[in-house]
Structure 1
Amino acid sequence: MILGSLVALATPMTPDGSVDQAALKQLVEWHVEQGTHGIVAVGTTGESATLDVDEHLGVVRTVIEVAAGRLAVIAGTGANSTREAIELTAAAASLGADAALLVTPYYNKPTQEGLYQHYKAVAEAVAIPQILYNVPGRTGVDMQNATVARLAGVPNIAGIKDATGNLERGQELIKLVGDRMAVYSGDDATAIELILLGAKGNISVTANVAPAIMAQACEAALAGDAERARALTARCAELHDVLFIESNPIPVKWALAEMGRMGLGIRLPLTVLSEAARPRVRAALQAAGVL
């Protein structure tokens, strides 16, 4: 089981929008140094929606090669086509990913039965640990806890990223499936509290810019040290908010550029963070002590 702070890694890009492989390699090394426990490559924050298949798998390949077993690598392989999700997941498995993260099919808005059949089909097709990903605010579809409970008995389904930010619902989910799959937070603002309730880690946007703090906070929460965990995450409270001041990953990519970790490259239809939002992001970075 993968535990702790799992960064939803932003994908560095050059000014023309192509993947910056050199910056990507440096980011992976930095996360190893900072104590991050795992990397999610090409999830939402990694701009999976606008990378073609070759670029997508190229990023996954680079992260796996540079990580070299020093931390876990989880490949984002979700799609709103079940066939495409199977193909991406199989490719990630062949590259040596430790697990795959599969977002709920977006836009076509399947029923709960459709969600069950989608995830079951991928799990039966590819023998790699798979983490379900429910983020209704982004996808337009909400996988109910009862559906997750049905999937908990399916071989290869190892966990779920719950990005609802609803602690009551998350606690119910842990009670329903926590003995059969890992529950991960997908909401930085509430992640530590969910871990203290029994979640196994946090798939984090904030960890892109404050990896050591987030790793230490998760470690403390997993050890049951609520006071230390809350004190650490409080240092990033403003970051948890402002990194969503515009659509993710717009703010976090600008923040990483401000920190000198990557350039300002981002792919349309996303654009560079607006001038008006920059002072708030900069102030949050300074308040956390990472700039």
Structure 2
Amino acid sequence: MFTGSLVAIVTPFKNGRVDERALGDLIEWQIANGTDGIVPCGTTGESATLSHEEHERVIAFTVEVVKRRVPVIAGTGSNCTDEAIALTRHANRVGADGALLITPYYNKPTQEGLFRHFKAVAEAADIPIVLYNIPGRTGVNMLPATVARLTSVQNIVAIKEGSGAVQQASDIVQMCGDRITVLSGDDPLTLPMMAVGAKGVITVTANIAPADMARLVDAFAEGRIEEARRLHFKLSPLFAALFLETNPIPVKAALGMMGKIEEELRLPLCPMGRENRDKLARVMKEYGLI
């Protein structure tokens, strides 16, 4: 259902408020450059610092702008199951095509707790669910066996696997088969994860290089392996530079350098350090983005 290069889109701010004009322009640019789906209000979208009203508005606005041209997968995760249900139901009401739910952070639930959390959300909201496993952010790793259990829930259709372990993605593919779609949650691992059965990526890098990310995924899917490998190596400097500091600090700096957004973050995130910013600027100049 959800495949290809799907952008984990930033939330632009201007003077402390969501900049809807810039967000709309980013969405149009993404679609024009071959991006296969828009994912608002994820980690890259600074969902942790959005008010509930802002969160709901960003999702509704994204759906309005996209107009069904590509899928919209709304970030609706929370470390409170009831809150995740409420956010997911809202995404369904405003017309999102799917909901991306991160494993509950800070609580550190057991595998049984993870199973019950996702099952409860999925059963309470009639919308396709994409699981999101990223232990580096949450402090808990959802194991392949738990993912396999969750495939028994009809509307759990995909997982963004961000553990950083290709073997874990391989195990999910092997255990679940076609019952769930695996998407890479690590841009540098897109190619190796597709080699073991992933069908695409939810990507940070597409924020600044949407066409090349889409070409990489398409090339592999179409059997043009050498072309996919060439694009992987071309993109590799960007993969590294965009994680010199905590995401989305570098990607917002990059988009600011490109003139696409105001370089504005919300605390506790702060502007990129000068040394790392200079490194990012050098990579972007070499890539031809600025």
Which TM-score tier does this pair reach, normalised by the shorter chain?
over 0.9
1:238 aligns with 2:237: yes
Aligned to 1:6: 6
Matches within 5 A, 1:88-99: 88-99=87-98
Question: Secondary structure in 2 aligned to 1:178?
Answer: helix
Moved over 3 A (4+): none
Aligned to 2:158: 159
Aligned to 1:77: 76
Amino acid in structure 2 at the alignment position of 1:178: G
Deviation, structure 1 residue 225: 1.6
Question: Secondary structure in 1 aligned to 2:17?
Answer: coil
Matches within 5 A, 1:207-222: 207-222=206-221
Deviation, structure 1 residue 289: 2.7
**Structure 2 CA distance, aligned partners of 1:142 and 1:60?**
27
> Does the 8 A contact of 1:235 with 1:287 survive in 2?
no
**Structure 2 CA distance, aligned partners of 1:149 and 1:8?**
25
**Structure 1 CA distance, aligned partners of 2:58 and 2:232?**
29
Aligned to 2:113: 114
**Structure 1 CA distance, aligned partners of 2:288 and 2:157?**
35
Matches within 5 A, 1:172-183: 172-183=171-182
**Structure 2 CA distance, aligned partners of 1:51 and 1:104?**
18
Question: Secondary structure in 2 aligned to 1:22?
Answer: helix
Summarize deviations over 1:116-140 as a string: whole Å, max 9, x none: 0000000110110000000000111
Aligned to 1:105: 104
Aligned to 2:29: 30
Deviation, structure 1 residue 144: 0.7
Deviation, structure 1 residue 223: 1.4
Deviation, structure 1 residue 231: 0.6
Deviation, structure 1 residue 178: 2.9
**Structure 2 CA distance, aligned partners of 1:124 and 1:69?**
24
Aligned to 2:249: 250
Question: Secondary structure in 2 aligned to 1:107?
Answer: coil
Deviation, structure 1 residue 41: 0.5
Aligned to 1:186: 185
Amino acid in structure 1 at the alignment position of 2:124: A
Question: Secondary structure in 1 aligned to 2:104?
Answer: coil
Which sections of structure 2, spanning at least 5 residues, go unmatched?
none
Number of equivalences: 290
Deviation, structure 1 residue 287: 2.8
**Structure 2 CA distance, aligned partners of 1:40 and 1:136?**
20
Aligned to 2:58: 59
Deviation, structure 1 residue 282: 1.1
Deviation, structure 1 residue 2: 1.6
Percent of counterpart pairs with the same letter? 51
Deviation, structure 1 residue 224: 2.2
**Structure 2 CA distance, aligned partners of 1:132 and 1:96?**
19
**Structure 1 CA distance, aligned partners of 2:137 and 2:177?**
25
Which sections of structure 1, spanning at least 5 residues, go unmatched?
none
Deviation, structure 1 residue 266: 0.7
Deviation, structure 1 residue 217: 0.5
Deviation, structure 1 residue 290: 2.3
Segment drifting more, 222-231 vs 82-91:
222-231
